[in-house]
Structure 1
Amino acid sequence: MRRLLAGELTRGPQGERIAQGLLLVAPALFATNMLVARAAADFIPPVALAFWRWFLVFLMMLPLAGPSLWRQREVLRAEWPVLTLLGALGMGVCGAFVYIGAHSTTATNIGLIYANSPVLIVLLAAVCFGERLRPVQLLGAGLAFAGMLVLVAKGDPGVLLDLRFVAGDLWIAAATLGWSVYSVVLRYVPSRLDGMTRFTAICLFGVAVLLPFHLWEAVTLGPPTLDLRTVGFVLLLAVVAGFAAYQVYGLILQTLGAARTGLLLYLMPLYNAGLAVLLLGERLHGYHLAGAALVIPGLLLANAATRRR
């Protein structure tokens, strides 16, 4: 397990095969987060859910990376600005924002809007790190963005013309942008830490960023009720959508690169919508299908092979 988390098994031809197989697993892991976000929206405050999810992930990582983290404490001091940024984005924006948005939008919408992140990753990689985009990729980005607008407007052009939006969808759109920036920074900003140690450090800094907001929320809204339901949902998030999902995503990203990582993540909205119907009783509407019909082909086109300038 340690060899896998450290990236030793994702090098060379065998590593590529493992990473490509994990691309089929990653959407299901991340879909768990969106389903729990909606299912727990009425009884777990959003920042508390994000804080305890990532605090538990940090505790799970300590036996694996704690000694390395201590040995490289000087590196942590040197890299703290980037680690703080990654923690704020990965655990704060991509955590708490999703849980805030889940109060007023559906798990299906969360999945379909979040599906635009691979497009944003490709665009950010092109703007910031010199990946040349072809016209077909720009077309794909346009289709995916149009699909997101269909979802946010729920198929009603008047919503866009009158600037009437569901607050939850806007929170999810902000989280989508945050995840895209997180992915590009993780991929392209160098670090002297190995992948496992860096992830543990990001969890630590992310929890530190969330702590004051968690305390403020506890004072203003009250702490979450400590019962089996609350504990079960937090553990599910920590183990599946936290520990497993981020480790798998990080391994794929380091092995295949930003653009190829997004190639099969178009499965995420399909996994998410299917599970939301089966487990949460959500209904699919015409605008969901119209949005998916634009987003999914857009992802495929936008994630066509890129070239360096």
Structure 2
Amino acid sequence: MASMSSSSDQRLAYVLLFVAPAMWSVNYLVARWAPGVIAPHALALGRWCVAAVVLGTLCRHELVARRTLIAAEWKQFVVLGALGMWVCGAFVYIGGRSTTAVNIGLLYAAAPVLIALVSALWLHERLGAMQLAGIVLALAGVLHILIKGEWAALAGLRVNPGDAWVSVAVLCWAAYSVLLRAWPSGFGPVARLTLIACGGILVLIPFTVWEAVAWLPSQWSWKSVALVLAAALIPGAGAYAAYSFMQRTLGAGRVAMVLYLGPLYSALIGWAVLGERIEPFHAVGALLILPGIWLSTHQ
């Protein structure tokens, strides 16, 4: 029975390798649908409130059993929440108001490259010639997308504000990922994510209030609720749960391939659902980013 269960888990994990990137790509779709429906910070706050409830329900026994550890780690939860839930949430939604889902997906493809670079510089993880070449390739691809392939006019070119917002989110996602490695925790992955989400909610609340009062008030409707639930359940709790299951079943090395599929899925979703054009500079950027990721994340 155990072997049958293990075989079944492996089959499911291999299926999820191709499903999880599509789940994450839904967030780029939400970012493009949100303008005119719900403000960026309100969307991020709603998303992580719902996700925290769902994830907290799954790990409630661990949270109760280890509640005394929260006081020792609360600063980490707030910092990680600010990086992962505020910046990587609201900033992507702000960027989605003036850039495309294709660009968001391709820019986020640089995250594992930045993680490898920061890990080498700060955590002293090994970075060989092949990894360094991959970093250079991928960052060149990101720059190619940011300047829309206009290298000759680089000096006088203005970057799309949406791409700039997303680029900041990518940098903070790299910092978030490295700090997750650098900071030990007494909690399991799901419980830790729940507490980080709570830290992010605390950071998001004042910015959401400011946004509603001074910049962009939200009119709650069935559409806005649907976007919050979609962002919370699919790329939020759903994708994280799938990722955790895949890592436990297949190991971190094999699961790394989901990062390579993200840009492809975001491009396909943007083209099929939003009618976004895939320009030649997107293809060139992808041809630089994807092999760059492979080189930089393999020994």
Tell me what 1:208 maps to. Answer: 202
Letter in 1 for 2:158: R
Say whether residues 1:134 and 2:128 are aligned partners.
yes
- With over 3 angstroms needed to count, the CA separation of the structure-2 counterparts of 1:228 and 1:212, relative to structure 1, is same
Counting matched residue pairs gives: 293
Measured against aligned partners, the alpha-carbon deviations of 1:160-212 in whole angstroms (never above 9, x if no partner) come to 31252111111111111111121222234211111221111111111111000
Shift, 1:20, TM fit: 5.9
Q: Write the distance in 2 (CA, Å) between the matches of 1:217 and 1:225.
A: 13
Q: Pick the aligned partner of 2:46 from 33, 52, 56.
A: 52
Secondary structure at the counterpart of residue 103 of structure 1: coil
- With over 3 angstroms needed to count, the CA separation of the structure-2 counterparts of 1:77 and 1:252, relative to structure 1, is farther
Letter in 2 for 1:32: V
Q: Unaligned regions of 5+ residues in structure 1, if any?
A: 1-11
- With over 3 angstroms needed to count, the CA separation of the structure-2 counterparts of 1:282 and 1:145, relative to structure 1, is same
Q: Pick the aligned partner of 1:277 from 271, 274, 282.
A: 271
Which moves more between the two structures, 222-231 or 86-95?
A: 222-231
Tell me what 1:6 maps to. Answer: none
- With over 3 angstroms needed to count, the CA separation of the structure-2 counterparts of 1:215 and 1:115, relative to structure 1, is same
- Contact (CA 8 Å) 1:263, 1:303: kept in 2 or not? no
Say whether residues 1:79 and 2:81 are aligned partners.
no
Q: Unaligned regions of 5+ residues in structure 2, if any?
A: 1-5
Say whether residues 1:117 and 2:79 are aligned partners.
no
Tell me what 2:218 maps to. Answer: 224
Shift, 1:36, TM fit: 0.9
Give runs of aligned pairs for residues 229-244 of structure 1, distance below 5 A: 229-244=223-238
Give runs of aligned pairs for residues 158-307 of structure 1, distance below 5 A: 158=152, 160-162=154-156, 164-250=158-244, 256-257=251-252, 261-305=255-299
Give runs of aligned pairs for residues 140-159 of structure 1, distance below 5 A: 140-158=134-152
Which moves more between the two structures, 20-29 or 82-91?
A: 20-29
Shift, 1:158, TM fit: 4.8
- With over 3 angstroms needed to count, the CA separation of the structure-2 counterparts of 1:253 and 1:82, relative to structure 1, is farther
Q: Write the distance in 2 (CA, Å) between the matches of 1:252 and 1:88.
A: 26
Shift, 1:236, TM fit: 0.6
- Contact (CA 8 Å) 2:131, 2:297: kept in 1 or not? yes
- Contact (CA 8 Å) 2:13, 2:245: kept in 1 or not? yes
- Contact (CA 8 Å) 1:113, 1:148: kept in 2 or not? yes
Which moves more between the two structures, 151-160 or 287-296?
A: 151-160
Q: Write the distance in 1 (CA, Å) between the matches of 2:246 and 2:240.
A: 10
Q: Write the distance in 2 (CA, Å) between the matches of 1:249 and 1:108.
A: 22
Measured against aligned partners, the alpha-carbon deviations of 1:28-76 in whole angstroms (never above 9, x if no partner) come to 1110101110121232111111000001111212322234323322211
TM-score by length of 2: 0.90
Q: Write the distance in 1 (CA, Å) between the matches of 2:12 and 2:123.
A: 26
Letter in 2 for 1:141: I
Tell me what 1:64 maps to. Answer: 58
Which moves more between the two structures, 206-215 or 122-131?
A: 122-131
Let me know the Cα RMSD of the aligned residues: 2.3
Secondary structure at the counterpart of residue 44 of structure 1: coil
Letter in 2 for 1:144: A
Shift, 1:230, TM fit: 1.2
